[in-house]
Structure 1
Amino acid sequence: MIGDLLLRLNVLLSRHKPVFFFCLIGLIGVLSYGISKLRITESIFATLPKGETFEEFNKLVENKNIINQIVFSIDVDSGITSDDAEILAEKFADSLKLITKGYITNIQAIRPDIQQDVYEYTYSNFPGFIDSSYYSHILNKIQPDSIRVSVSSSYNQLLTPGGPFLKQYVVNDPLGISGEYFRELNAANNSGGMSVENGVMFSRNRKQIIVTAATSYNSGNSAMNIALFSKVENFKLRWDKQFPQNHFSYFGTFEIAARNAIQVKQDSNRTMIIALVAIILILVLYYRKVLIPVYIILPGLFGGVFALGIIGFIRPEVSGISLATGAVIFGILLDYSFHFFTHIRHTRSITLAIKEVSEPLLTGSLTTILAFSALHFANSVVLQDFGLFASLSLTGAAVFTLTVLPVILQAFSFDYNHIPGESKFFNFPSIPAKLRFATLLVVTSLTFVFLYYAQFTEFDSSFESLSMQSGDIKEREEKLTGINPDTDKRIYIFSTNKIKEKAEQTNYTVYQKLTRFKAEKKSKNSFRQEPF
């Protein structure tokens, strides 16, 4: 029945070829417009599930500028004066701002009075920062003997050459009650041992000037990440050439995202090209004609255009990773036209080929389409995109094979009577009767062997395995942030509740546990806002 309907449709389209080709070109034009609306993202974060909790977390991360920080390190001589360091840092910041205008904001090369600001803010809010665990320290400090020692120490500090600079601190806290808190605060939030001189931040060994900045756009913007990466790399080449004694290095998540985006794009193009070339080569060898593989590839190409065009209208943003994995679908797409040409070879008739191949082809394609459509219920955007692309491309290829391809063959007077016969090279060798039982035994034995070893297969659940991070980036990350990506993991913890007080209480409970973890050496370090 289906074959008869498709045959009648083929006769109708063949009688009105000009109208048919006009409509086909119009359809391709509409699909091309849909493709132009596509925004392909190469971000590896697209592989993460996009549940409600993750969306809230991602929005919070983006809005609070948590992952858009950039750290620059300028090499200097350890004996450089503060004034010279300030001039060099300002020159670097001015050049960086000019080169990366519109991409980088909040460039901090000089931090005037930052220590004073932190001290004044902390001191003025000191009673609210401490908890009951600090009361025992205060109790010890207000004992008569302790008061005598503290006052004597403060008096001696005022008599030293640095006394005038310490006057405010001593007057505010002559007993040193807040001293322990400041020491704990510095140890917790300055594990890198940074120091500030005249507003210039130096590394622990005073051989690098530290400059910080932040990207001015959404961290998920792949195009902006790539553009900024290119600008910073070009600026680095010019700066290092102009200041050979003051080379700079940098680290920011934008660089990792940019490198991954470039790699995904290259892998996608490479995968598609290799798949296309290999398939064409096999088809040319099989049919021993160049024109037949061209006809066979047409449904696959239309299927890809059809899928991308429809996606451009219904879901403009699509993951580049899903499109790269979609290259495996191309082989399935070509199966339809391959089966069609195989029937033409045997029947020597397009009419008979349509009647014979239509029902099994549509049935097989329907089951495959439904299987890929099930990915729509997955929680990963990449899998959803892949399922949508696969199901639409398979639909387009199947319809094209049974309706459009026959008309094209007839329009170009395809000579199906002279299709070369099957090549012996592609024939699967028959198994002699006396070896069939032995072959079955070998296959059965291998099946049980493979089943045994299958239990040792483990899925790599590490997200880092999806990210391309070179040894140079890892080295710079450890140097500038103190985190070794191979052994250390940065974890963000958020406490949420509709009632603010409950969220604050949960947050403080987390703070206490983190403090205990650090004391028990279960965690390396933690930076938190609870003390503030």
Structure 2
Amino acid sequence: MTEFCIKIYRFFRNHRAVFWVSMIALYAFFGYFASKIYLEEDINKLMPSSKNEDGTTKLAFANLRIKDKTFLLFEGKNGASVEHITEICDAFIDSLESRNAAMDSTQQVIGNIFYRLPDDLMLDVIDYMSAHLPAYIDTSVYTRLDAMLTYPHMKLQMKANHDDLLSPVGSMFPELIQMDPVGLRGLLMEQMKPFTEGAAGSYKTLNGHFFVQDSTVCVVFITPMYSATNTGQGSTLFRILNDQIEQFSASAPDVKISYHGTPASGFYNSWRIKSDLKGTIIGSLVLVLIFISICFRNYNTIPLLLLPVVFGTLFGLAAMYFIKGHFSLLALGIGAIVLGVALSYVLHIITHYKYISDPEQVLRDQVKPVCLGCLTTIGSFMGLIFIRTELLQDFGLFAAFAIVGTTFFSLVFLPQFLNPRKNKLNHRAFAIIDRINAYPFDRKKPLLFTILATAVVCIGFYIAGGTQFDADMHNLGYKAESTSYSENLLRSKTHTGDKQKYFASSGATMEEAIENFEIMAAKLDSLQNIGLVKSYTHTNQIFVPLHVQQERIDAWKNFWTGERLQLVHDLINKTAPEAGLIPNAFSPFFEFATADYEPDALYEASIIPEGYQST
């Protein structure tokens, strides 16, 4: 290898045109393809890849849209009324939707804004439940319902029916009471309690908007067009939000607007990482170059140091382009530490040249150690490709190729720039370094004893528990002050201080996913029983598998026999007049009890608002 590099050196020295053409051509070639690579900012690359062929593990991090929600909060200050808060909310959302609509269709960043219930939602829900209610009644209800078909209960229920008809909801939708003289709605509310408490128990609707229980904060749910883990696309959305918040803060100071969510955290994390890396790299590079300029006293040393590293970076990016076509920007940021490693190989050659001023002798002395160092470093980085985390795999590949490119340039092209006639050396600066290197540390027993004692103390401190590792991934990233305020505000207002985790069931079809959720719900129930899970949203209360719906419909038909219907008829005739009600007013119940029902997929009924389906 040494002789081969020397032959190349002699060839280029005698054929300068070939040297310049080949170097510039390689620079242009790798630079062109490096510029073609797509840099993505998906923090999902940090997560382990799925072992399953169906990709179910990735579903929770990549395809589950609930994690993509951004919570936009409108907090009333100084006693701001609900009407004023909703007015500001409507104006803010109208402006946000206008700005999003004004963008090119390929550049739009907002998929859906869910901030109020449709005006006709209640009517649609009543119509749907009237046509499919038996499919949503658990079979365990019928034992209690049978016990309710008595005169004492019906007497009390008729009085409750009378009061309900006079209530605002009853006056608007009297058919709800007329279809249910027995009080089945009470049993249903109890059955749905696990769902309502988990999904909406912390919110209420005022003027059609979503408010926390104390009516001081209005909540809006924004679903972006992109995944929450793609922080690159998210930057536009949060720049727009920040701009509008600043404008509305000036015009409506009594309503504080804030936001949080996984997309916001990802955006600020990415911004902080890029900002910190930029400052760190520039600062460290300036310090290194200043130190090298003082030691070497040659200003042309700086480009000699940078040329191989730049070549190695372009070579690494071009290699990633040919292998994958895209590259994680976060991996590139982490890969910036490779520049320090690559720079060390260049320094090996330049520093040795400064002492002997003979490029050919430099190659004889440095080819083997540099190549061996390169191989061991490449081996270390290539070990990352066996980790099932795409970001670290990208980093390992890029780092390995960058080291290869830097080493290749240092041994093939760099010697041609070494001119013995212009070689200068700051002997005073290097004398200090030489003196330190020549110091016999191994012969100083007090120093060795001090180092050993310090190591023992540190190990003992670690074993005794003095050092602890933070296993909470929520503390992994940067938390912006504004998003932390918003998150803590909503948590305090909705008494959800516990950490929330997302569980997802998947399937080839929506129906299969719903069936799989039944299995997962049973496991969550067992975890809740042993105290590992405090509560969870019982989605299976509204998304019921079709075969379960058929079982419930059959149970409904079997329950309402002719004898029971006659019993209810007689009880209504006795108790309704006592409560000041007309018995015939409850005739819709008998049509409801004897109607034919078929299983129906709620997710295909176009009733659930689009913004709620992934909330």
TM-score of the superposed pair, with normalisation by structure 2: 0.76
User: 1:140-289 residue pairs with structure 2 within 5 A?
Assistant: 140-159=147-166, 163-182=170-189, 184=193, 185-197=195-207, 199-289=208-298
Does the 8 Å contact 1:344/1:416 carry over to 2? no
Which of 403, 407, 412 matches 1:398? 407
Structure 2 Cα separation of the partners of residues 45 and 161 of structure 1: 48
Deviations 1:130-168 (A, max 9, x none): 434434432343344222211232134335676522512
1:49 aligns with 2:48: yes
Does the 8 Å contact 1:43/1:222 carry over to 2? yes
| Residue type of the alignment partner of 1:169 | L
| Residue type of the alignment partner of 1:107 | I
CA gap of 1:157–1:321, structure 2 versus 1, over 3 A, is closer
CA gap of 1:484–1:311, structure 2 versus 1, over 3 A, is farther
2:475 is aligned to 465
Residue 403 of structure 1: how far off its partner (Å): 0.8
| Residue type of the alignment partner of 2:112 | N
More displaced 10-residue stretch of structure 1: 155-164 or 284-293: 155-164
SS of residue matched to 1:206: coil
Structure 2 Cα separation of the partners of residues 170 and 524 of structure 1: 35
| Residue type of the alignment partner of 2:66 | I
SS of residue matched to 1:195: strand
SS of residue matched to 2:223: strand
Residue 481 of structure 1: how far off its partner (Å): 6.2
Deviations 1:277-306 (A, max 9, x none): 122122223324333343233322322222
Does the 8 Å contact 1:251/1:480 carry over to 2? no
CA gap of 1:479–1:346, structure 2 versus 1, over 3 A, is closer
Residue 520 of structure 1: how far off its partner (Å): 7.8
2:99 is aligned to 99
More displaced 10-residue stretch of structure 1: 473-482 or 301-310: 473-482
Structure 1 Cα separation of the partners of residues 540 and 360 of structure 2: 77
Unpaired runs of at least 5, structure 2: 102-107, 543-615
Residue 100 of structure 1: how far off its partner (Å): 2.7
Structure 1 Cα separation of the partners of residues 2 and 169 of structure 2: 98
Structure 1 Cα separation of the partners of residues 129 and 287 of structure 2: 67
1:449 is aligned to 457
Residue 7 of structure 1: how far off its partner (Å): 0.9
Residue 109 of structure 1: how far off its partner (Å): 4.1
Structure 2 Cα separation of the partners of residues 379 and 110 of structure 1: 42
User: 1:402-481 residue pairs with structure 2 within 5 A?
Assistant: 402-409=411-418, 413-415=419-421, 418-421=424-427, 423-426=430-433, 427-428=435-436, 436-455=444-463, 456=465, 457-480=467-490
Structure 2 Cα separation of the partners of residues 194 and 107 of structure 1: 18
SS of residue matched to 1:423: helix
| Residue type of the alignment partner of 1:67 | K
Deviations 1:232-272 (A, max 9, x none): 11111122323334443333432222111211211221222
Q: CA RMSD in A?
A: 3.4
Does the 8 Å contact 1:375/1:387 carry over to 2? yes
More displaced 10-residue stretch of structure 1: 316-325 or 381-390: 316-325
Does the 8 Å contact 1:345/1:416 carry over to 2? no
2:20 is aligned to 21
Residue 225 of structure 1: how far off its partner (Å): 0.4
| Residue type of the alignment partner of 1:287 | F
CA gap of 1:309–1:484, structure 2 versus 1, over 3 A, is farther
Does the 8 Å contact 1:44/1:467 carry over to 2? no
CA gap of 1:41–1:436, structure 2 versus 1, over 3 A, is same
Does the 8 Å contact 2:258/2:482 carry over to 1? no
2:146 is aligned to 139
2:546 is aligned to none
Residue 405 of structure 1: how far off its partner (Å): 0.5
CA gap of 1:399–1:313, structure 2 versus 1, over 3 A, is same
Unpaired runs of at least 5, structure 1: none
Which of 382, 386, 389 matches 2:391? 382
Does the 8 Å contact 2:259/2:482 carry over to 1? no
User: 1:507-526 residue pairs with structure 2 within 5 A?
Assistant: 507-512=517-522, 514=524, 523-526=533-536
Residue 392 of structure 1: how far off its partner (Å): 1.0
Percent identity of the aligned residues?
22
2:357 is aligned to 348
TM-score of the superposed pair, with normalisation by structure 1: 0.87
CA gap of 1:162–1:401, structure 2 versus 1, over 3 A, is closer
CA gap of 1:89–1:140, structure 2 versus 1, over 3 A, is farther
Structure 1 Cα separation of the partners of residues 264 and 395 of structure 2: 26
| Residue type of the alignment partner of 2:110 | I
SS of residue matched to 1:67: helix
CA gap of 1:483–1:262, structure 2 versus 1, over 3 A, is farther
CA gap of 1:519–1:169, structure 2 versus 1, over 3 A, is farther
Structure 2 Cα separation of the partners of residues 135 and 478 of structure 1: 43
Deviations 1:85-140 (A, max 9, x none): 77655433321201233222333444213344445444544333343443443234
SS of residue matched to 1:152: helix
Deviations 1:448-479 (A, max 9, x none): 33333444445444322222123431331243
Structure 2 Cα separation of the partners of residues 437 and 458 of structure 1: 33
1:129 aligns with 2:136: yes
Residue 493 of structure 1: how far off its partner (Å): 1.6
Residue 218 of structure 1: how far off its partner (Å): 3.2
More displaced 10-residue stretch of structure 1: 155-164 or 252-261: 155-164
Residue 4 of structure 1: how far off its partner (Å): 1.6
Structure 2 Cα separation of the partners of residues 168 and 263 of structure 1: 57
Residue 446 of structure 1: how far off its partner (Å): 3.1
Structure 2 Cα separation of the partners of residues 499 and 100 of structure 1: 32
CA gap of 1:27–1:486, structure 2 versus 1, over 3 A, is farther
| Residue type of the alignment partner of 2:458 | F
Residue 335 of structure 1: how far off its partner (Å): 2.1
SS of residue matched to 1:444: helix
More displaced 10-residue stretch of structure 1: 299-308 or 87-96: 87-96
CA gap of 1:510–1:148, structure 2 versus 1, over 3 A, is farther
Structure 2 Cα separation of the partners of residues 172 and 446 of structure 1: 82
1:34 is aligned to 33
User: 1:300-339 residue pairs with structure 2 within 5 A?
Assistant: 300-339=309-348
Which has the bigger relative contact order, CA under 8 A and spacing at least 6? 2
SS of residue matched to 2:222: strand
Does the 8 Å contact 1:43/1:260 carry over to 2? no
CA gap of 1:60–1:335, structure 2 versus 1, over 3 A, is closer
SS of residue matched to 2:360: helix
Deviations 1:37-83 (A, max 9, x none): 2333344332111224495444466555322223333345978586x
CA gap of 1:478–1:449, structure 2 versus 1, over 3 A, is closer
| Residue type of the alignment partner of 2:421 | D
| Residue type of the alignment partner of 2:271 | I
1:529 is aligned to 539
Structure 2 Cα separation of the partners of residues 96 and 316 of structure 1: 35
Structure 1 Cα separation of the partners of residues 308 and 493 of structure 2: 51
Deviations 1:348-367 (A, max 9, x none): 31111111211222122112
2:120 is aligned to 113
Deviations 1:491-522 (A, max 9, x none): 22223567998865552243355457668875
